[in-house]
């Protein structure tokens, strides 16, 4: 048993899980009560799987069926992996973004010991209060702050370690690195609108330049101020019908590589700037899928109809100033031409002015961001930020043709 696995056993997560959790039954997320079904509740808590602790931002609809998870307690094996990557030491000062149930904060407090200090930030007041109560009852003393995790907590800085249990969309909040001391470490899930993402581990150098690597395939809910609808903008059906009509030489095996988290999805998502992905499997019957790409900032849209039951070329419709499907094919060709890299071959360098993701070595740039303040985004209706699949559970739904 590893050090963290032993610690997970010493700090049981059952102490931090609320009496009501939410289980996906195929229709949506239904409540599972500890008092009404103690055996089912305990089985869910004991499993090596995430436990959904809040749905629909804490306001489930009438009837008790939630549409999307808004908070959860992470899978224990993944918690152990992230804490191993973080490597907190006795006496460290640690900042956690996303308190959730408080379990992770308790694990951190146990590891840094009485000589260390843990500050945890939770944006949701109800969740923060639950975490404070659970931590007190379990005998742990992290400081739980109700606030915006993207802003960090400068009052407690500088920190030796920073861990986020909420995913970052493309660009790390500048406040996080500003509040770390030189030689510190940061661990966070990192992704794009196209792909859920990977774990990023960063080390901050003495000249305020951070470097790090990606690994694995993880799916976390995003920082709330970075959440963006999976279908945040879409033209009406008449506009789609009237859009430019072409075909593509891509076939099922190509789409499998473009959409599979274990293959090209992560890298392609980085190459496709500000592009959301939505797939409706079997929309028009078995093996007939619809793939949508959209950029709400430029009102660009692409729809691919992939009919795997028909040998004819797949149909593509595109509109707006960006030709998003053409860009997706170009990103796929780039990925294929660079020997099909996964997240482990990618690194990142962050300076005060730029953020650069590179392949194998810093001179092979995948994408670079200017860190100048971006223009404000137009508000859009938020839909589920819940991730859809991880590489270990990926099943290509009929994309490989026979």
4, β-bridge pairs: none
Which residue in the block uniquely carries the two structure tokens 């960090």? 152
Question: What does the alpha-carbon distance between residue 178 and residue 158 come to, in Å, rounded to a whole number?
Answer: 8
CB-based contact 392:308 (threshold 8 Å): no
Q: Which of 79, 82, 152, 165 is nearest to 119 (CA)?
A: 152
DSSP letters, 322-344, are S-HHHHHHHHHHHHHHTT---GG
CB-based contact 335:264 (threshold 8 Å): yes
Among the listed residues 74, 164, 184, 276, the single catalytic one is 74
Other C-beta atoms lying within 10 Å of the C-beta of residue 30: 17
Question: What does the alpha-carbon distance between residue 117 and residue 44 come to, in Å, rounded to a whole number?
Answer: 31
Question: What does the alpha-carbon distance between residue 364 and residue 62 come to, in Å, rounded to a whole number?
Answer: 52
Which helix (H) or strand (E) segment is 319 a member of? strand 314-319
Enumerate the H helices of 232-297 as residue ranges. 237-242, 252-259, 265-271
Other C-beta atoms lying within 10 Å of the C-beta of residue 240: 16
Q: Which two tokens stand for residue 356?
A: 């650069």
CB-based contact 328:293 (threshold 8 Å): yes
Instruction: Indicate the SS3 state at residue 147.
Output: coil
Catalytic (active site) residue 390: no
Enumerate the H helices of 102-170 as residue ranges. 103-112, 125-138
Instruction: Please state the φ and ψ torsions of residue 134, each to the nearest 5 degrees.
Output: -65, -40
Task: From residue 37, give the alpha-carbon distance in Å to each of 42, 58, 186, 357.
Answer: 9, 21, 39, 47
Tell me how far apart the 2 most distant CA atoms of the chain are, in Å: 67
Which helix (H) or strand (E) segment is 366 a member of? strand 365-370
Enzyme catalytic residues: 74
């Amino acid at each position: 048993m590893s050090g963290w696995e032993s610690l997970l056993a010493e700090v049981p997560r059952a102490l931090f899980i609320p009496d009501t959790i939410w289980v996906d039954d195929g229709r949506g997320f239904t409540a599972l009560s500890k008092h009404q079904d103690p055996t089912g509740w305990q089985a869910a808590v004991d499993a090596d799987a995430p436990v959904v602790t809040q749905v629909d931002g804490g306001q489930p609809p009438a009837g008790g069926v939630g549409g999307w998870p808004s908070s959860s307690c992470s899978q224990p094996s993944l918690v152990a992996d992230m804490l191993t990557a973080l490597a907190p030491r006795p006496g460290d000062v640690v900042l956690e973004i996303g308190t959730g149930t408080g379990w992770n904060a308790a694990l951190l407090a146990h590891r840094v010991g009485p000589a260390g200090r843990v500050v945890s930030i939770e944006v949701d007041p109800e969740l923060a209060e639950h975490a404070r109560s659970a931590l007190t009852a379990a005998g742990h003393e992290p400081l739980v702050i109700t606030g915006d995790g993207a802003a960090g907590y400068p009052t407690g800085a500088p920190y030796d370690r920073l861990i986020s249990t909420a995913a970052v969309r493309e660009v790390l909040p500048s406040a996080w690195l500003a509040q770390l001391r030189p030689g510190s470490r940061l661990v966070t899930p990192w992704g794009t609108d196209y792909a859920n993402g990977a774990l990023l581990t960063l080390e901050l150098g003495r000249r305020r330049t951070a470097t790090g690597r990606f690994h694995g395939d993880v799916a976390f809910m995003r920082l709330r101020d970075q959440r963006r609808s999976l279908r945040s903008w879409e033209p009406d059906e008449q506009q789609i019908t009237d859009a430019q009509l072409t075909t593509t030489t891509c076939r099922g095996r190509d789409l499998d590589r473009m959409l599979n988290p274990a293959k090209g999805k992560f890298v392609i998502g980085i190459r496709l700037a500000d592009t959301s992905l939505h797939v409706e499997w079997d929309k028009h019957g078995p093996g007939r899928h619809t793939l949508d790409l959209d950029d709400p900032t430029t009102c660009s849209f692409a729809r691919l109809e992939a009919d795997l039951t028909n040998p004819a070329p797949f149909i593509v419709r595109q509109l707006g100033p960006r030709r998003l499907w053409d860009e997706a094919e170009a990103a796929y060709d780039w990925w294929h031409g660079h020997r099909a890299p996964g997240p482990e071959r990618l690194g990142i360098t962050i300076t005060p002015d730029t953020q650069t993701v590179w392949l194998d070595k810093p001179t092979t740039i995948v994408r670079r961001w200017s860190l100048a303040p971006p223009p404000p985004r137009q508000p859009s209706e938020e839909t589920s930020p819940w991730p859809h699949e991880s590489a270990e559970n990926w099943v290509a739904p009929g994309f490989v043709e026979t």
